[in-house]
Amino acid sequence: MAFFTVGTMTPESLAFLKSLLDTPGPSSFETAPARAWRKEAEAFADEVRVDVGGNSYAILNPAGRPRVMLAGHIDEIGVMVTHIDDEGFISFDTIGGWDHQVFVGQRVRLLGRGGPIAGVVGKKAIHIMDKEDREKVSKVEELWIDIGAISRAEAEGQLRIGDPGVLATSVLEFPNGRLVSRSIDNRIGAFVVLEAVRMLAGTGGPAAAVSAVATTREEIAATGGGARTSAVALEPDVAIVVDVTHATDYPGVEKRRHGDYRLAGGPVLSRGASVSEVVFELLAATAEAEAIPYSIEAASRDTHTDAEAIFNAHRGVATALVSVPNRYMHSPNEMVALEDLDRTARLLAAFARRLTPDTDFAPR
């Protein structure tokens, strides 16, 4: 039985999603959310495993053909401890791309050797700033984290250089099916690909071998991260990457430049760059057959997603990118519509069901 109902989400599915979003897992430190993802997959997948790079796999019908890879990265942006001074104050750097102004006044959760450590980001109070300092944009190197320690020794008893952390926020449910959280980019991609496999398992399974993969290190993946290594391991015939794209339905966004993508508008299908036009057309035809609304996004040079690491892996993979509109990306309060998660999972499942061993992905 599918876990979603049309346009809504069951309480069990929503609880799993919220737990996944709340579990800290910055790039290179994704173990905790990946473990939760695999535990959920064990209820319906034929095979569940993890590889040396931390990528997690949930596979249906492993002997089937063609081989389908559904990839969503499970890491998130975060922070890392870089120095502890004599008074116990902690210097930090970013993991992934941040607007440094977001850090001012935030609470953080550092992942220490004995468990999570609460901290706050410190900055000189406005009352004692010089005038020119008040007008400057905050930079991470001018900020620090205060965990309440009074000495280096006390702080080092809880933390080491290289310990990661995240901003200390939790999931909020808003009206109209909106969900707000950090880590939406892109833990919801890992969630959606797993839900697609759950749907397929509940309908007797596909002819294809379908592997949902929760990939690692996408936010720092200059060399391909976990997407490349998992694609090499699976050798898929076709891959669909699920990520987020910028919703442009809020004030001040120039749609001529950034496109028109709205919450609850359905999945966004990319064209160009690393995307196979054959797979794009199959996805569009599937969406239309299933009455799933969708938008199209142009990618003339680069998708800035795991698709770049997959389409040219081993001998090449017919790859597509399906994105969920996301407001306020790379902030502690990203926002998506639950309806878009439902539609994206249904699209992936329907796409996989349409494939046969004779499906040809070569452009002819």
Q: Is 132 a catalytic residue?
A: no
360 token code pair:
């040809």
Q: Is the dihedral of CA 309, 325, 287, 37 positive or negative?
A: positive
Q: Is 204 helix (H, G, I), strand (E, B) or coil?
A: coil
Q: Are 219 and 96 in contact, with CB atoms under 8 Å apart?
A: yes
3-state DSSP: the chain helix, strand, coil percent, rounded to 5? 30, 30, 40
How many separate helices (H) and strands (E) can be counted in the chain?
Answer: 10, 19
Q: Which helix (H) or strand (E) holds 279?
A: helix 277-289
Residue in 313, 319, 315 with CA at minimum distance from that of residue 239: 319
Helix (H, G, I), strand (E, B) or coil at 148: coil
Q: Nearest CA to 95 among 38, 187, 28? A: 28
218, 219, 297, 334: which one is catalytic? 218
Active site residues: 218
